Amino acid sequence: NTEIKKIAKHITKSNDESGFAYAIRKWVLE
């Protein structure tokens, strides 16, 4: 949804691409 993307602070991969785990690794574990 483009409206969601406009307001989202960080755009990550979709949930189908393990987006949540990706975000955790990117911003928390690095």
Measured distance CA(14)–CA(8) in Å, rounded? 13
For residue 12, what pLDDT is reported?
60
What residue spans of 1-30 are helical by DSSP H? 2-7, 19-24
The structure's pTM equals 0.31
Residue-wise pLDDT tens digits, 16-30? 566 677 777 777 776
> Using CB atoms within 10 A of its CB, is residue 17 exposed (0-12), middle (13-18) or buried (19+)?
exposed
The gap from C-alpha 21 to its chain's centroid, in whole angstroms, comes to: 9
**Per-residue pLDDT band at 9 (split at 50, 70, 90):** low
Tokens 């602070």 found at: 9
Task: List the structure tokens of 22.
Answer: 């990706």
**Per-residue pLDDT band at 13 (split at 50, 70, 90):** low
For residue 23, what pLDDT is reported?
75
